[in-house]
């Protein structure tokens, strides 16, 4: 379980203080898929970096499976928006996916198995010896997802991973994330500023207020577990949920709760 309790982050730079996160509290059960949306600049990346142990909070706690996070926790993998910068261009696809496993000291044979399985799972079997720059943006992001999956994480943090790909690729990658989540039973925290994406993907959606940030609202997405781009997005319940999230985000920008919903 991921537990975020009273998380506050104040940046101090050049004598100026920016309160990015004021007081965030939420929990995510093991095996859940939770999307986090909020207005631009509300501190989504700050939150993820605190959860990943890459940034020290000013106060509050983050616990993963009962252990307080104070550095990059084992069992946690991340996928970033900028796949172009997260893959090493001079390494092959196999070496990129394999790298965290080497750091984890996984034996060679097991490493190869995990890489093969992960590339197969993201539909990239056969690209092992290619270099990232020989692949499309969508394929590069699949490599980044394969790298996270091969690591066999219990928790996967995704920071606006599809913001830089075209709409069709994005739809395919969304379906890939749901399929992997269902298959691997991994806990996923997915950050996006795209409301439709949050409702389509998530089993829960947490909405953040604008900075200084608190949890504005949260919903359980009571759409069928089997989702597809055509039918789910045409479901009247999908429209209701996205309208609710939209109104909450608009209210968050104005700095108060929405009156309806
Ligand atoms: N290193 C830093 N030093 C000072 N202020 C920072 C730093 N990083 C972020 N901030 C500030 O903290 C606030 C939250 O930033 P953050 O990048 O976490 O938001 P975000 O929700 O991810 O933004 P976006 O939606 O635009 O990607 C912003 O006001 C930002 O200017």
Beta-strand (E) ranges in 74-211? 76-79, 155-159, 187-191, 204-208
Nearest atom, ligand 1, residue 213 CA = 14
Centroid of ligand 1 to alpha carbon of 62 (angstroms) = 19
Q: Which residues of 76-111 are buried (b: 16+ CB within 10 A; e: fewer)?
A: bbbbbbebeebbeeeebbbbbbbbbbeeeebeeeeb
Q: Would the ipTM clear 0.85, i.e. be above it?
A: yes
Integer Rg of the chain from CA: 18
184 vs 17: CA distance, rounded Å: 41
Average pLDDT over all residues of the chain:
91
Please say if the pLDDT value at position 114 is more than 80: yes
Q: What is the pLDDT of residues 15-32, one digit of tens each?
A: 899 899 999 999 999 999
List all residues whose CB is within 6 A of at least one atom of ligand 1.
11, 13, 18, 20, 38, 40-46, 193, 211
240 vs 221: CA distance, rounded Å: 10
Q: What is the pLDDT of residues 157-213, one digit of tens each?
A: 999 988 888 889 899 999 999 999 999 899 999 999 899 999 999 999 999 988 778
Structure confidence at residue 257 as a pLDDT band (50, 70, 90): low
Centroid of ligand 1 to alpha carbon of 61 (angstroms) = 19
The pick from 13, 15, 20, 47 for probing ligand 1's pocket by mutation, whose C-beta has the most ligand atoms within 8 angstroms, reads: 20
Nearest atom, ligand 1, residue 160 CA = 27
Give yes or no for a contact between 176 and 122, defined as CB atoms under 8 angstroms apart: yes
**Can you name the CATH fold of 1-71+203-261?**
Rossmann fold (3.40.50)
Domain ranges of the chain: 1-71+203-261
């Amino acid at each position: 379980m991921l537990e975020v309790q009273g998380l506050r982050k104040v940046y101090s730079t050049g004598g100026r203080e920016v309160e990015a996160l004021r007081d965030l509290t939420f929990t995510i059960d093991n095996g859940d898929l939770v999307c986090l949306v909020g207005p631009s600049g509300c501190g989504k990346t700050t939150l993820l970096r605190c959860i990943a142990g890459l940034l020290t909070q000013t106060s509050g706690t983050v616990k993963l499976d009962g252990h307080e996070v104070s550095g990059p926790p084992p069992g946690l993998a991340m996928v970033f928006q900028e796949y172009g910068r997260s893959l090493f261009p001079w390494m092959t696809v196999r070496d990129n996916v394999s790298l965290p496993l080497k750091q984890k000291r996984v034996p060679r044979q097991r490493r190869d198995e995990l890489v093969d399985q992960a590339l197969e799972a993201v539909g990239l079997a056969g690209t092992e010896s290619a270099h990232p720059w020989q692949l499309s943006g969508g394929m590069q992001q699949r490599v980044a997802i394969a790298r996270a999956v091969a690591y066999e994480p219990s928790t996967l943090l995704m920071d606006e991973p599809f913001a830089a790909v075209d709409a069709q690729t994005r739809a395919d990658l969304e379906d890939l994330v749901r399929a992997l989540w269902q298959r691997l039973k991994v806990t996923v925290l997915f950050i996006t500023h795209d409301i439709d994406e949050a409702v389509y993907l998530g089993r829960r959606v947490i909405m953040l207020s604008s900075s200084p940030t608190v949890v504005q609202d949260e919903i359980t997405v009571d759409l069928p577990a089997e989702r597809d781009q055509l039918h789910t997005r045409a479901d009247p319940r999908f429209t209701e949920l996205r309208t609710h999230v939209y109104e909450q985000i608009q209210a968050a920008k104005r700095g108060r709760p929405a009156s309806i919903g």
